[in-house]
Amino acid sequence: MFDSLSEGLQSAFKSLSGKGKLTEGNMRDGLKIVEQSLLESDVSYSVVKEFMAHVSEKALGKRVLLSLRPHEELVRIVHEELIETLGPVDPSLHLKADRPTVLMLCGLQGSGKTTTCGKLTQMLREQQIEPLLVAADLQRPAAIEQLKIIGEQLGVPVHTETDHQDPVKVCQNGVDRARRDGNRVVILDTAGRLAIDEELMAQLKRIDKKVGPDQVYLVVDGMTGQDAVNSAGAFNDALELDGVVMTKLDGDARGGALLSVKQVTGVPIKFIGTGERFDALEPFRPEGMAGRILQMGDMVAAAREAHRIVDESERESLEEKMASGQFSLDDFKNLMQKVAQPGLMGRMMGMMPGMSQFKEALDSEEAGGQMKQIIGAINSMTPAERKNPKLIDAARRTRIAAGAGVQSSSITQLIKQFDTMKPIMQMMSGKGGGDRMAMLRQLQSGAMPGMGGGGAKIKQSTGKRLSPAEREKQRKEREKLKRKMKRKRR
Amino acid sequence: MAFWRSKTAPSQPESGETPPAEDQAGQGGMFTKFSSGLQKTRRVLGTDIRDLFKSEGRLVDEEFLDELFARLIRTDMGTGPANKIRDEVAKQYRGRVVQLEEVVATITTEIREQLRQDHGGLAKADSGPTVILVVGVNGSGKTTSIGKLANHLRSGGHSLVLGAGDTFRAAAVEQLTIWAGRIGCEIVTGKSGADPASVAFQCVDKAMETGADYAIIDTAGRLQTQSNLMQELQKIRKVIDKRLPGAPHEVLLVLDATAGQNAISQAKGFSAAAACTGIVLAKLDGSAKGGVVLPIHEQFQLPVKFVGLGEGLDDMAAFDPDSFAEALFQN
Ligand SMILES: Nc1nc2c(ncn2[C@@H]2O[C@H](COP(=O)(O)OP(=O)(O)OP(=O)(O)O)[C@@H](O)[C@H]2O)c(=O)[nH]1
Ligand SMILES: Nc1nc2c(ncn2[C@@H]2O[C@H](COP(=O)(O)OP(=O)(O)OP(=O)(O)O)[C@@H](O)[C@H]2O)c(=O)[nH]1
Ligand SMILES: [Mg+2]
Ligand SMILES: [Mg+2]
Residues B176/B144, Cβ–Cβ less than 8 Å: no
- Radius of gyration of chain A from Cα atoms? 31
Among A105, A109, A114, A115, which residue has the most ligand 1 atoms within 8 Å of its CB, making it the best to mutate? Answer: A115
Residues A229/A42, Cβ–Cβ less than 8 Å: no
One domain, residues B166 and B278:
yes
Residues B129/B214, Cβ–Cβ less than 8 Å: yes
Residue from the list A41, A149, A221 with its beta carbon closest to the beta carbon of B170: A149
Query: Is the Cβ pair A197, B261 closer than 8 Å?
Result: no
Query: Is the Cβ pair A146, B288 closer than 8 Å?
Result: no
Query: Is the Cβ pair B175, A142 closer than 8 Å?
Result: yes
Residue nearest to atom 7 of ligand 1 (CA): A112
Instruction: Name the range with the highest mean pLDDT among A404-408, A460-464, B315-319.
Output: B315-319
Domain holding B150: CATH number?
3.40.50.300
Query: Is the Cβ pair A108, B168 closer than 8 Å?
Result: no
Using a CB cutoff of 8 Å and minimum separation of 24, what contacts does A282-290 make? A283/A89, A283/A91, A284/A86, A284/A89, A284/A91, A284/A246, A285/A89, A286/A82, A286/A83, A286/A84, A286/A86, A286/A87, A286/A88, A286/A89, A287/A83, A289/A82, A289/A86, A289/A255, A289/A258, A290/A79, A290/A82, A290/A83, A290/A86
Residue from the list A39, A197, A223 with its beta carbon closest to the beta carbon of B79: A39
* Residue A283 CA to ligand 3 centre (angstroms): 21
Residue A30's pLDDT band (cuts 50, 70, 90)? confident
Distance in Å, alpha carbon of B95 to nearest chain A alpha carbon:
23
How far apart (Å, rounded) are the C-alpha atoms in residues A294 and A231?
A: 23
pLDDT of residue B118: 60
Residue B137 annotated in ligand binding: yes
Distance in Å, alpha carbon of B177 to nearest chain A alpha carbon:
9
Interface of B with A in 272-331 (CB under 8 A): 283, 285-289, 292, 311
pLDDT of residue A408: 87
Residue B140 annotated in ligand binding: yes
Q: What share of chain A is helix, strand, coil (3-state, %, to 5)?
A: 60, 10, 30
Examine the pLDDT at A443 and tell me if it is beyond 60.
no
Q: Which atom of ligand 2 is nearest to the CA of B284?
A: 31
Q: Which of B56, B42, B60 is nearest to B103 (CA)?
A: B60
The answer to which of A108-122, A213-227, B96-110 has the lowest mean pLDDT is: B96-110
CB A109 near ligand 2, within 6 Å: yes
Query: Is the Cβ pair A142, B174 closer than 8 Å?
Result: yes
Distance in Å, alpha carbon of A256 to nearest chain B alpha carbon:
9
Q: Note whether residue B1 is domain-resident.
A: no
pLDDT of residue A471: 62
Query: Is the Cβ pair B70, A39 closer than 8 Å?
Result: no
CB A117 near ligand 1, within 6 Å: no
pLDDT of residue A337: 63
pLDDT single digits (tens) A298-331? 777 777 776 766 555 666 666 666 666 677 787 7
Query: Is the Cβ pair B262, A145 closer than 8 Å?
Result: no
* Residue B248 CA to ligand 2 centre (angstroms): 23
What 3-state class would DSSP assign to B253?
Answer: strand
One domain, residues B134 and B190:
yes
**Residues B81, B87, B91, B96, Cα dihedral to 10°:** 110
Residue from the list A150, A221, A222 with its beta carbon closest to the beta carbon of B170: A150
CB B140 near ligand 2, within 6 Å: yes
pLDDT of residue B148: 98
Query: Is the Cβ pair A226, B75 closer than 8 Å?
Result: yes
One domain, residues B79 and B227:
no
How crowded is residue A484: how many other Cβ atoms within 10 Å of its Cβ?
A: 13
Q: Note whether residue B296 is domain-resident.
A: yes
One domain, residues B220 and B319:
yes
Dihedrals phi, psi of A224, to nearest 5 degrees: -60, 145
CB A273 near ligand 1, within 6 Å: yes
Q: Which atom of ligand 2 is nearest to the CA of B137?
A: 25
Is A341 or A254 the better-scoring residue by pLDDT?
A: A254
Q: Best of A38, A226, A274 to disrupt the B interface by mutation (most B CBs within 10 Å)?
A: A226
pLDDT single digits (tens) A121-140? 999 999 999 999 999 999 99
Strand partners, B308: B316
Residue nearest to atom 21 of ligand 2 (CA): B139
B140 neighbourhood in chain A, CB within 8 Å: 110
Q: Which residues of A396-420 are buried (b: 16+ CB within 10 A; e: fewer)?
A: bbebbbeebebebebbbbbbebbeb
CB A122 near ligand 1, within 6 Å: no
One domain, residues B308 and B223:
yes
Domain spanning A101-284: CATH 3.40.50.300: yes
Q: Note whether residue B93 is domain-resident.
A: yes
Query: Is the Cβ pair A142, B283 closer than 8 Å?
Result: no
- How many domains does chain B divide into? 2
CATH number, domain A5-10+310-489: 1.10.260.30
Q: Note whether residue B160 is domain-resident.
A: yes
pLDDT of residue A301: 74
Each domain of chain A, given as residue ranges in start order, spans 5-10+310-489, 21-62+68-88+287-309, 101-284
Closest-CA residue of chain A to B180:
A141
* Residue A42 CA to ligand 2 centre (angstroms): 21
CB A280 near ligand 1, within 6 Å: yes
The answer to which of A142-146, A166-170, A384-388, B123-127 has the lowest mean pLDDT is: A384-388
* Residue A110 CA to ligand 3 centre (angstroms): 7
Residue B138 annotated in ligand binding: yes
Instruction: State how far the alpha carbon of A325 is from the alpha carbons of A331, A387, B79, in Å.
Output: 12, 11, 47
Closest-CA residue of chain B to A150:
B170
Contact of B99 with chain A, judged by CB distance below 8 Å, is answered with: no
CB A136 near ligand 1, within 6 Å: no
Residue nearest to atom 9 of ligand 1 (CA): B138
Closest-CA residue of chain B to A153:
B170
pLDDT of residue A419: 75
pLDDT single digits (tens) A91-106? 999 999 999 999 999 9
Q: Note whether residue B175 is domain-resident.
A: yes
One domain, residues B192 and B95:
no
- Residues 6+ away with beta carbon under 8 Å from B17: none
Residue B327 annotated in ligand binding: no
One domain, residues B147 and B229:
yes
Examine the pLDDT at A110 and tell me if it is beyond 50.
yes
Q: Note whether residue B239 is domain-resident.
A: yes
Q: Note whether residue B13 is domain-resident.
A: no
Q: Note whether residue B28 is domain-resident.
A: no
> What integer is the mean pLDDT of A407-427?
73
A194 neighbourhood in chain B, CB within 8 Å: 40, 283, 285-287
What 3-state class would DSSP assign to B259?
Answer: strand
Residue from the list A36, A222, A225 with its beta carbon closest to the beta carbon of B292: A225
One domain, residues B103 and B182:
no
Distance in Å, alpha carbon of B15 to nearest chain A alpha carbon:
39
pLDDT of residue A438: 45
The answer to which of A193-202, A436-445, B69-78, B278-287 has the lowest mean pLDDT is: A436-445
CB A101 near ligand 1, within 6 Å: no
The answer to which of A224-238, A437-451, B165-179, B299-313 has the lowest mean pLDDT is: A437-451
Closest-CA residue of chain A to B224:
A251
pLDDT of residue A15: 43
One domain, residues B91 and B217:
no
pLDDT in tens, chain B (331 residues): 222 222 233 333 333 333 333 333 333 322 333 333 333 333 333 334 544 554 568 888 898 899 899 989 999 999 999 998 888 888 888 888 886 567 867 788 778 877 876 666 899 999 899 999 999 999 999 999 999 999 999 999 999 999 999 999 999 999 999 999 999 999 999 988 899 999 999 999 999 999 999 999 999 999 999 999 999 999 999 999 999 999 999 999 999 999 999 999 999 999 999 999 999 999 999 999 999 999 999 899 899 999 999 999 999 999 989 889 988 987 6
> What integer is the mean pLDDT of A476-481?
61
Work out the mean pLDDT of chain A and round it to a whole number. 79
Count how many pairs of residues, chain A against chain B, have C-beta atoms within 8 Å: 149
How far apart (Å, rounded) are the C-alpha atoms in residues B202 and B225?
A: 28
Percentage of residues in chain A having pLDDT higher than 90: 49
CB B226 near ligand 1, within 6 Å: no
Q: Which residues of A370-383 are buried (b: 16+ CB within 10 A; e: fewer)?
A: bbebbbebbebbee
Domain extent, residue B285, equals 130-325
Of B115, B150, B174, the position where a domain reaches its end is: B115
So what's the ipTM on this one?
Answer: 0.84
Residue nearest to atom 21 of ligand 1 (CA): A110
Residue B71 annotated in ligand binding: no
One domain, residues B106 and B207:
no
Q: Which of A99, A153, A143, A145 is nearest to A122 (CA)?
A: A153
Interface of B with A in 108-167 (CB under 8 A): 137-141, 147
Query: Is the Cβ pair A194, B285 closer than 8 Å?
Result: yes
pLDDT single digits (tens) A264-300? 999 999 999 999 999 999 999 999 999 999 987 777 7
One domain, residues B245 and B310:
yes
B177 neighbourhood in chain A, CB within 8 Å: 142
pLDDT of residue A461: 32
Residue A466's pLDDT band (cuts 50, 70, 90)? low
